[in-house]
Structure formats: structure tokens, C-alpha cells
């Protein structure tokens, strides 16, 4: 079993953010100053408070701090007026109905995920063209009758109760799953009996926000991460209270024993899991996205305690255990990662043997053990490769893929030759393949069929120099016959952080854009994981400005090479990508015609005071340290807005139950831009109701949001939606 706390996805990076003032530590010194009243445009009125905060040797203005308190009636009314103004404006856009119709065709589809095999049973999710949410199914073997396991469409009349993580036991008889109100991260674990379909009334575990159940081989219980729900714990300190617990089925969860105590450090994550044979228990303590400690405990030895496997290194380690051998994927001394093997009974560092050396041209993204072989997921030039080796690292084969694109890891059991993986690209919807690990033979298991003709489009990879001369790669998707005369509407999407890689993946939402003559571009910015640890390091902390420089350089390259022009160029990003486009917008406002910013961080001086913001300090730094404060305030989008600047049109997408990135960022930034902009371009705040950081998980809400977003972009960039 491969055990790790976090995926490379920011979805697990950002955690609970409280909107109450009790969660915010106020500055030691706040000085009132006079703020001159300015004329208002057609935006809802927003009060400006006269606040200057003394931080080190600087006076930092924060006129919209009152918008941090979401529970305040004044803030609630402000949100209502802003959302109404945005929706009224968006609803009046010509072509919106055409776009909405096209999105209905693209989003209501039948599809099947990669299956997971447990006890001879296959478990997978399926979307239906007539359902709002995906349904989890199971069947006995590949040819068995398909049966419903979990159907969140039935959990609430308004569709606001969502399914989170779900984990079958090794024998396929039980499933632990999380229920999430309003698609937020806060969750409660439940246990389902697969054969009877009955949900246990005893096994109900609150505090499952970070929980990733790890089953024992006898299916009598599981280890999980528990996060106290005690409201007296400040939200900013809460991640440091995470414990590893064990739950025996049929017992009172409130009495679950603590297997590993809290760290007390809110800037770290704690998690763990047990090997498939039930002998080896791992605990990970992760600090940011560049380093973690690993502890090991032998459950076969009575009274054995956790021993450090690796401790205090500036590197990451992911450990898989099989037949009392440990397989360690690490970037220790290898930016692109390598694999070590060591006996679990003698895990001292001196006994580690390198079995898969670092590939200088490809970054190792992950590893699974399937059929007594290592299944390795690589990234070369921002696209995936699948390689298979023996347990000693000797090459067996490279899996032939349909083209240049993105794949999942190879999923299967350590002792079963049957495995599965997915593939997609910018022009190929998701395909799931069945793989024989014994012979290497593959066959198409399922594919998504959409009303799209991808043949007129092509995806090319280009390279451009950033401000400091660093070469950065970028994917550009467009019609093959599109002229490079500077007239093409172009959407530049970016992320650039937390070791997240931007690979060629399929997104049906971009096709109405492409069909209307648009260009879609995705650069591989520093801060991501496309080119290993060094690439991530070059875009985090004190190097964060490199990410923004890369993004600006991508925009300038698209303009210089005739793909588009500033008035025809839009930028889009969410979460950490929302910080990216906020920084790009405030640093180079003249370079873009429109901006879509979703669920972002934008106040980098106070972000660490909200929710689990302290867990992001290893990525960004903290304003509590003078040198880091100066770096943060220099690029913090909220603090860089300047009165009298002609800012491009802005559509801010927020969610009312976002408990990863506090929506205060979106509110404060919109208020600042509405006040400061000298142009007449719209500045809109759209707030999704009953939705978390990833949005609502109902298809109809995704359609409405996409129709709003693209009708906004179409109008700003002078596009017409294709009607046929």
C-alpha cells in the first residue's frame, strides 16, 4: 500500500478558513487616517474604513478589513447586493443562452472512472447524462452485474449534500465514505456494508475533514486522521490538532484510541496508513510541499513504538510496503526523484539501496506496486509516461500511450496482474484502459463520448524566455487554420505553485471557446512540478515573483508571436491560480482585456491568520517575519491596487461555503478594484451558493457558472458563440 498525506493537488493543501473575527489576530498597532471619499460607479456601495497598520517599518492600508467578518449583517447585505448585481449583468449578456445550451450538451454525459479492484470486486464512479452527481457502483469482477453503492443524488432534495472520499476495504465487503454538506471540506465518515447496502448507525465519525481511511486486512477497522470540531480551537491553529486514530467497527467513535498525537504545529499536516498485510504502520508529518518526516511502527511486535524512518530532511518521501520491503520515492539528492529499497525490519538509512536512479530528463510523479512490479508515473516535457520495472528496478516495459497527454497512475493490486489507467489530452476525452501487468497487453475499457469534433484543432508545445531568461514551456490549443495576425481571442490559464503540474488534460468547457475561434494557452510556470523539485523551489517563498514573471512573459510571447493582442487576451486562474491572475492584473493591467479570478488568495499580508493558512507558510512565507513580509506585501494583489488605474474587466468567482481559501480575499479585492479603477469595465463578484472551494458538485450549477464566465469573456473580447 502506498501511504502519503497529500496528493499534489491544492485541494488538500488549503483547509478550513473561518470567517469569524475570533479567528483573526489583530495587529498590535492600528492607526486611523482620513480617507477621501471618491465618486462611485455603478457598483454597490462599499464602505472604506480609515485603517493603517504598522508592520515593521511600513504603514499598510487596509480599508476593507470589515469585509473579513462574513457573519456580520452588513457584510451579508453587501454580498447579496454584489452577487445580485453580477448575476443581473451576466444574465443580460447576448449569447449566454447559446453558451448554456452548448454546455448542457457537453456536461451532461455518460462516463466511467478508473475502477479499483478489492476482493475480486470492481468499484468505480459513473456520471449519467440525466443525473446531477456521479454515482458510485460496484460489480463482481469485470462481467458482474452493476450495482449502485452510493448515490448522492438521493441525499438531499436541493442537492447540497455531497460525497467526499470513499475507500473500500481490502475484501470489498465494506466502504468508508465521507459526507460533505454544501460541497465543503468539513466531513463526517460513515461505513456501508456492500452486500446489504446498509449504513451503520454506530460508525459515524465527525471531524473527518482530513480523513483518509486506511483499512486493516481483516476489514474490522481502519486508521484515519481526526480533526477536532471544538469551536473553542482557533481556526488558524486547528490543523495542528490533527491526530491519527483507529476505529474498530461497531464501537463508539468518541472512544477511538489516539495512535499518534497532535503535532501542535498548525503549519504542518499529519497523516498515516497501514500496509496491506496489516503489519507496518506509517505516520507522515508534512511541512509544506517540499519536505516531510516519516515514522514506522511494527504492529506485529507488541509494544513497538514509532521510529523515525527519515527525519528533518529538505526532501519528500513516499513509502510503499510489500512483503516486508519498503520502496521509497524521494527527491533527496535528486530533483526529479528516484526510488530506494530497504528491508522494513532494518530500515536504517545506511541500508537503503537505490533501485531506480533519477532520470535527468523526466520527473517521477508517483509509484504503485502492481503484480509484484513497480508501476512508475513520469512526466517528460510536461506530459506523462508510464514505465514498469521489477521490484529491483530493472526495466520491464514502457506502456504505449495513444499520444502526448496526461495519465493516471496504474491502479491495481500488488498480487494481481489486472490493472487500469486513464488517458486524456487536450483533444482526446478521458479513456480508461485495462492493462495486463504480465504481458503488457492493453485494451480500451471505457471512453467518454462527446458531441465534439476534435479534428480541426491542434495542441502545440512552445518555449519562451521569462524575465530572467529561464526557458518556460507552454501548451497552445487552437484551430489548425487560425491565422497568427494578432486578432484571436486568447484565454491564458495558469497555476504555478504547490508542486502542481499543468499537463495536457481534456476539458470540455474550453470547446465553445475554441469553436468560436478562441485560443487556449497553458504555461508550465515555475512553482509547479513539471520539471522536478528545482522547478518548484524556483517559484515559492522568496522566489514567488518568478511565477508572475513567467505568466507575464507567456502573455507577452502570445502577443509578440501574433496569436493575440492585449485587448483580445484574457487570463484565468483559481485558488493559488487566483493569486496568480490577481498579481498579473495589478502588475500589468494594460496587458489584458479581461480577468477571471476564482476562489483566490489575494491579501498576502493576512492570509496566515485565517483557517489553515499557516499550513501554506512553507509555500509563501509569513508577514510575521520582516524579510518575508516585505516580499509578500510587494506582490500582494490587494495591497497593489492603485487608484486611477484603468484595470481590465474582472469577474470574481467565489463560493459561500469555501472552507479552504476564505472568501474574504475575493470580497476585499473586488471592493478595492471597484474603488480604484479608472475604467468603465465591469468589476463583478459572483457568489456560488451552497458550494465549497471546488464549487458545487451539481452539473446544472457547473453549466450556469460556465455560461456566466464565458459570456463575460465573449463580450469583453468581442466574440460570438457558435450556434451550430
Task: Judge contact between 569 and 558, C-beta under 8 A.
Answer: yes
Query: Can you read off the three cell numbers belonging to residue 486?
Result: 494578432
Q: Give the N- to C-terminal CA distance of the chain in Å, as an integer.
A: 49
Phi, psi torsion values for 402, nearest 5 degrees:
-65, -15
Query: Can you read off the three cell numbers belonging to residue 181?
Result: 454538506
Task: Judge contact between 478 and 457, C-beta under 8 A.
Answer: yes
**How many CB atoms are closer than 10 A to CB 203?**
21
Task: Judge contact between 247 and 224, C-beta under 8 A.
Answer: yes
What residues form DSSP beta bridges with 59?
54
The three-state DSSP-derived secondary structure of 37-62 is CCCCCCCCCCCCCCCEEEECCEEEEC
- Cα separation, 479 vs 94, in Å, equals 24
Which residues, other chains included, contact 255 with Cβ-Cβ below 8 Å and sequence gap of 6+?
A: none
- Sign of CA pseudo-dihedral 366, 368, 373, 377: negative
Q: What does the chain come to in residues?
A: 724
Task: Judge contact between 687 and 652, C-beta under 8 A.
Answer: no
Catalytic residue among 260, 693, 706, 711: 693
Q: Crossing angle for the helix pair 96-107 and 699-717, nearest 10 degrees?
A: 140
Report the DSSP pairing between strands 174-181 and 325-330: unpaired
DSSP codes joined into one string, 178-201: EEEETT-S--EEEEEETTT-PBPS
Distances (CA, A) of 180 to 131, 166, 204: 19, 12, 13
- Cα separation, 149 vs 139, in Å, equals 10
DSSP codes joined into one string, 442-498: EEEEEE---S---TTEEEEEEEEE-TTS-EEEEEEEEETT---SS---EEEE----T
In the residue annotation, 190 being an active-site residue is answered as no
Q: Crossing angle for the helix pair 699-717 and 73-91, nearest 10 degrees?
A: 70
Which residues, other chains included, contact 41 with Cβ-Cβ below 8 Å and sequence gap of 6+?
A: 674, 680
> Among 347, 338, 342, 318, which Cα is nearest to 389's?
338
In the residue annotation, 702 being an active-site residue is answered as no
- Cα separation, 29 vs 55, in Å, equals 8
> Among 685, 671, 577, 649, which Cα is nearest to 62's?
671
Catalytic residue among 575, 636, 706, 711: 575
Q: Active-site positions?
A: 575, 693
Amino acid at each position: 500500500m502506498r501511504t502519503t498525506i497529500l496528493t499534489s493537488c491544492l485541494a488538500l493543501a488549503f483547509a478550513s478558513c473561518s470567517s469569524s473575527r475570533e479567528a483573526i489576530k489583530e495587529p498590535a498597532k492600528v492607526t486611523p487616517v482620513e480617507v477621501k471619499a471618491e465618486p462611485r460607479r455603478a457598483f454597490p456601495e462599499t464602505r472604506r474604513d480609515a485603517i493603517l497598520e504598522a508592520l515593521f517599518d511600513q504603514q499598510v492600508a487596509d480599508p476593507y478589513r470589515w469585509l473579513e467578518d462574513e457573519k456580520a449583517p452588513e457584510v451579508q447585505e453587501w454580498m447579496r447586493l454584489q452577487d445580485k448585481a453580477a448575476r443581473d449583468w451576466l444574465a443580460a449578456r447576448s449569447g449566454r443562452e447559446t453558451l448554456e445550451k452548448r454546455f448542457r450538451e457537453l456536461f451532461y454525459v455518460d462516463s466511467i472512472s478508473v475502477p479499483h479492484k478489492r476482493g475480486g470486486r470492481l468499484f468505480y464512479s459513473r456520471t449519467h447524462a440525466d443525473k446531477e452527481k456521479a454515482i458510485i457502483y460496484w460489480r463482481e469482477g469485470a462481467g458482474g452485474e452493476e450495482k449502485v453503492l452510493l448515490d448522492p443524488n438521493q441525499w438531499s432534495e436541493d442537492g447540497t449534500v455531497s460525497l467526499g472520499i470513499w475507500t473500500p476495504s481490502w475484501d470489498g465487503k465494506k466502504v468508508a465514505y465521507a459526507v460533505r454538506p454544501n460541497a465543503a471540506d468539513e466531513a463526517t465518515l460513515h461505513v456501508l456494508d456492500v452486500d446489504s447496502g446498509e449504513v451503520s448507525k454506530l460508525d459515524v465519525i465527525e471531524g473527518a475533514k482530513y480523513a483518509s481511511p486506511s483499512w486493516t486486512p481483516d476489514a474490522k477497522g481502519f486508521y484515519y486522521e481526526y480533526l477536532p470540531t471544538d469551536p473553542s480551537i482557533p481556526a488558524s491553529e486547528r490543523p495542528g490538532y490533527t491526530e491519527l486514530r483507529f476505529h474498530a467497527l461497531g464501537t463508539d467513535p468518541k472512544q477511538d484510541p489516539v495512535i499518534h498525537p497532535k503535532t501542535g504545529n498548525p503549519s504542518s499536516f499529519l497523516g498515516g496508513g497501514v500496509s496491506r498485510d496489516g503489519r507496518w504502520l506509517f505516520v507522515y508529518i508534512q511541512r509544506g510541499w517540499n519536505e516531510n518526516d516519516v515514522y514506522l511502527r511494527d504492529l506485529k511486535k507488541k509494544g513497538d513504538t514509532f521510529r523515525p524512518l527519515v527525519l528533518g530532511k529538505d526532501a519528500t518521501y513516499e513509502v510503499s510496503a510489500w512483503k516486508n520491503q519498503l520502496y521509497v520515492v524521494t527527491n533527496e539528492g535528486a530533483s526529479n526523484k528516484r526510488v530506494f529499497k530497504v528491508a522494513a525490519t532494518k530500515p536504517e538509512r545506511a541500508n537503503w539501496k537505490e533501485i531506480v536512479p533519477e532520470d535527468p530528463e523526466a520527473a517521477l510523479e508517483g509509484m504503485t506496486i502492481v503484480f509484484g512490479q513497480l508501476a512508475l508515473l513520469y512526466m517528460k516535457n510536461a506530459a506523462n509516461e508510464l514505465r514498469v520495472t521489477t521490484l529491483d528496478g530493472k526495466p520491464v516495459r514502457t506502456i504505449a500511450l495513444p499520444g502526448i497527454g496526461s495519465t493516471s497512475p496504474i491502479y491495481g493490486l500488488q498480487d494481481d496482474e489486472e490493472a487500469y489507467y486513464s488517458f486524456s489530452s487536450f483533444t482526446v476525452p478521458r479513456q480508461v484502459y485495462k492493462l495486463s501487468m504480465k504481458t503488457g497487453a492493453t485494451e480500451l475499457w471505457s471512453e467518454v463520448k462527446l458531441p465534439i469534433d476534435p479534428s480541426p484543432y491542434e495542441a502545440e508545445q512552445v518555449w519562451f524566455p521569462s524575465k530572467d531568461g529561464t526557458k518556460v514551456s507552454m501548451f497552445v490549443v487552437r484551430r489548425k487554420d487560425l491565422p497568427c495576425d494578432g486578432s484571436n481571442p486568447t484565454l491564458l490559464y495558469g497555476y504555478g505553485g504547490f508542486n502542481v503540474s499543468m499537463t495536457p488534460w481534456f476539458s470540455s468547457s474550453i470547446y465553445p471557446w475554441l469553436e468560436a475561434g478562441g485560443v487556449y494557452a497553458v504555461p508550465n510556470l515555475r512553482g509547479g512540478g513539471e520539471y522536478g523539485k528545482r522547478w518548484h523551489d524556483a517559484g515559492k517563498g522568496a522566489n514567488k515573483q518568478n511565477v508572475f514573471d513567467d505568466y507575464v512573459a507567456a502573455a507577452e510571447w502570445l502577443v509578440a508571436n501574433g496569436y493575440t493582442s492585449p485587448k483580445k487576451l484574457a487570463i484565468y486562474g483559481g485558488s493559488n491560480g487566483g493569486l496568480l491572475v490577481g498579481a498579473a492584473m495589478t502588475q500589468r493591467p494594460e496587458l489584458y482585456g479581461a480577468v477571471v479570478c476564482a476562489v483566490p488568495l489575494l491579501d498576502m499580508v493576512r492570509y496566515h491568520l485565517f483557517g489553515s493558512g499557516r499550513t501554506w507558510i512553507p509555500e509563501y512565507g509569513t508577514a510575521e517575519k520582516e524579510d518575508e513580509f516585505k516580499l509578500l506585501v510587494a506582490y500582494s494583489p490587494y495591497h497593489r491596487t492603485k487608484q486611477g488605474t484603468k484595470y481590465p474587466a474582472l469577474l470574481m468567482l467565489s463560493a459561500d461555503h469555501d472552507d479552504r481559501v476564505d472568501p474574504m480575499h475575493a470580497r476585499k479585492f473586488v471592493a478595492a478594484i471597484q474603488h480604484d479603477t479608472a475604467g468603465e469595465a465591469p468589476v463583478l463578484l459572483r457568489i456560488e451558493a451552497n458550494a465549497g472551494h471546488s464549487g458545487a458538485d451539481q452539473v446544472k450549477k457547473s453549466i450556469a457558472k460556465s455560461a456566466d464566465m464565458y459570456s463575460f469573456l465573449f463580450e469583453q473580447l468581442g466574440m460570438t458563440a457558435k450556434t451550430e
